[in-house]
Amino acid sequence: MARFAGGKAPFLRISDQPNQGTGIIMRDFMIGLAPVILFSWYKNGIQVMIDGNIGFFEMLYPLIFILLGGLMSLIMEGITLYIIHPDSRSLKGVMAKLSTSYPMVPGLLLAMVLPLYTPVWVLIFGCFMGTVVGKMLFGGFGHNIFNPALIGYLTIAVTLTGVINAAGGVFNASEVLVDSYAGATPLTLLSRIKELDYDKLVAPYGTLWNFFLGTIPGALAETGALAILVSYGWLVYRKVIKWFTPLIYVGTVFVLSWFIGIASGEPGIWFPLYSILSGGLMFGAVFMATEPVTTPRNPLGKVVFALFLGVFTVLFRYISTLPEGVATSIVFLNIFTMPIDNWTAVIRARGIKKQTAIKASVFAVLFIALVLYAILKAGSMYTAFIQGPIGIGGWF
Q: Which is nearer to another protein, 25 or 81 (CB)?
A: 81
Residues 51-110 binding another protein (CB under 8 A) are 53-55, 57-58, 61, 64, 68, 71-72, 75-76, 78-79, 82, 89-91, 94
Q: Which is nearer to another protein, 177 or 338 (CB)?
A: 177
CB of 122 to another protein, least distance (A): 8
DSSP class of residue 129 equals I
DSSP helix/strand/coil, 91: helix
CB of 68 to another protein, least distance (A): 6
Residue 116: which of 231, 217, 229 has the closest Cα? Answer: 217
CB of 90 to another protein, least distance (A): 7
As a whole number of angstroms, the longest Cα–Cα distance in the chain is 70
Residue 267: which of 257, 275, 277 has the closest Cα? Answer: 257
- Cα–Cα distance measured from residue 325 to residue 377, given in angstroms and rounded to the nearest whole number: 14
- Cα–Cα distance measured from residue 291 to residue 144, given in angstroms and rounded to the nearest whole number: 11
Residues 241-270 binding another protein (CB under 8 A) are none
Q: Which residue type occupies 328?
A: T
Question: With CB under 8 A as the contact rule, which of the stretches 47-55, 279-287, 298-306, 359-367 interacts with another protein?
Answer: 47-55
Q: Which is nearer to another protein, 61 or 254 (CB)?
A: 61
- Cα–Cα distance measured from residue 18 to residue 23, given in angstroms and rounded to the nearest whole number: 10
Cα of first residue to Cα of last residue in the chain, in angstroms, is 43
Burial of 373 (0-12, 13-18, 19+ CB in 10 A): middle
Residue 268 makes CB contacts below 8 A (sequence gap 6+) with: 198, 261
CB of 160 to another protein, least distance (A): 13
Q: Which is nearer to another protein, 94 or 326 (CB)?
A: 94
Residues 105-134 binding another protein (CB under 8 A) are 117-121, 123-124
- Cα–Cα distance measured from residue 35 to residue 38, given in angstroms and rounded to the nearest whole number: 5
Q: Does 49 bind another protein (CB under 8 A)?
A: no
- Binds another protein by CB under 8 A, chosen from 24, 38, 176, 255: 176
Q: Which is nearer to another protein, 173 or 276 (CB)?
A: 173
| Binding-site size, another protein (CB under 8 A) | 31
CB of 35 to another protein, least distance (A): 24
Q: Which is nearer to another protein, 78 or 299 (CB)?
A: 78
Q: 36 with 224: CB under 8 angstroms?
A: yes
Q: Which is nearer to another protein, 38 or 75 (CB)?
A: 75
Q: 145 with 295: CB under 8 angstroms?
A: no
Q: Which is nearer to another protein, 22 or 53 (CB)?
A: 53
Q: 51 with 60: CB under 8 angstroms?
A: no
CB of 161 to another protein, least distance (A): 15
CB of 228 to another protein, least distance (A): 25
Q: 348 with 298: CB under 8 angstroms?
A: yes
| Per-residue b or e along 194-226, where b marks 16 or more CB atoms closer than 10 Å to that residue's CB | eebeeeebbebbeebeebbbbbbbbbbbbbbbb
Residues 208-227 binding another protein (CB under 8 A) are none
Q: 223 with 47: CB under 8 angstroms?
A: no
CB of 57 to another protein, least distance (A): 7
Q: Which is nearer to another protein, 59 or 303 (CB)?
A: 59
CB of 46 to another protein, least distance (A): 16
Q: Which is nearer to another protein, 118 or 337 (CB)?
A: 118
- Binds another protein by CB under 8 A, chosen from 173, 201, 219, 286: 173
Count the Cβ atoms, other than its own, within 10 Å of residue 387: 12
Give me the 131-170 binding string for another protein, x by CB under 8 A, dash otherwise.
Answer: ------------------------------------xx--
Q: Which residues bind another protein (CB under 8 A)?
A: 53-55, 57-58, 61, 64, 68, 71-72, 75-76, 78-79, 82, 89-91, 94, 117-121, 123-124, 167-168, 173, 176-177
